[in-house]
Homo-oligomer: A and B are copies of this chain.
Amino acid sequence: MGEDGLRHQLLDAAGRILDESGIEAVTIRETARQCGVSHGAPRRHFPSRAVLLGHLAKRVAGELAEEFDATDGDPLRLAEVYVAFAARRPHAFDLLLRHDLLEASGADLRSTTLPLVARWRDAWCARHPADSGTDALVRLTAVHGIASLVSHRAHEVVGLEPGELLGRVLRSGNFSEGM
């Protein structure tokens, strides 16, 4: 099963802790505890907490990419999956954005998030051939803003349902053409 043994097991435990208790709770010692090993054991696989969180973030990004794979490439579906992910796994979503934690981890965050951005742009441009890509990115920032609000359960502040917001963002006219 766990072909690599402890390393995989540690990431599993860390992911569980992340979703259940948040980033702060993802601790080298607690992760080790849940795997039944000593507090020093994780160091052989992840030399620091930052590196552990970096690998955890990469795994989270991979899981989000898998959810993207399960769609048919429709931009609206991709956006819905993105926002739903932020709502369902807020701590994991947070981790993806914690550049302050991850830049010091050696795990280049851009190399994990760029493919996700590119996937969105490709999906959008495939359905909107007139767009050179800039409009897609403007929409991306709006979708990301919605997801960010939703993950913090702050969408109630603006008083609109996420689905409603998404629909408006994605169905309105081209941003490049002005008013």
Q: Which residues of A are interface residues toward B (Cβ below 8 A)? A: 22-24, 91, 94, 97, 99-100, 110, 113-114, 117, 134-135, 137-138, 140-146, 148-149, 152-154, 157-160, 165, 168-169, 171-179
Q: Which secondary structure dominates where chain A touches chain B?
A: helix
- The answer to whether A138 and B165 touch across the interface, beta carbons within 8 angstroms, is yes
Count the copies: 2
- The answer to whether A169 and B144 touch across the interface, beta carbons within 8 angstroms, is no
13 new A-B pairs (CB below 8 Å) besides A137-B165, A144-B148? Answer: A91-B100, A99-B153, A110-B157, A137-B159, A137-B160, A138-B160, A142-B145, A144-B149, A145-B146, A145-B148, A168-B176, A171-B178, A173-B178
For the complex, give the distance between the alpha carbons of A94 and B148 in Å. Answer: 12
- The answer to whether A140 and B153 touch across the interface, beta carbons within 8 angstroms, is no
For the complex, give the distance between the alpha carbons of A160 and B176 in Å. Answer: 13
* Cβ-neighbour of A138 out of B24, B169, B173, B178 (below 8 A): B169
For the complex, give the distance between the alpha carbons of A161 and B175 in Å. Answer: 15
Closest 5 interchain pairs by CB? Answer: A145-B145, A142-B142, A141-B145, A172-B175, A168-B175
List B contacts of A169 (CB < 8 A): 138, 141-142, 175
List B contacts of A137 (CB < 8 A): 158-160, 165
List B contacts of A145 (CB < 8 A): 140-146, 148
- The answer to whether B172 and A114 touch across the interface, beta carbons within 8 angstroms, is no
A104 to chain B, nearest CB (A): 10
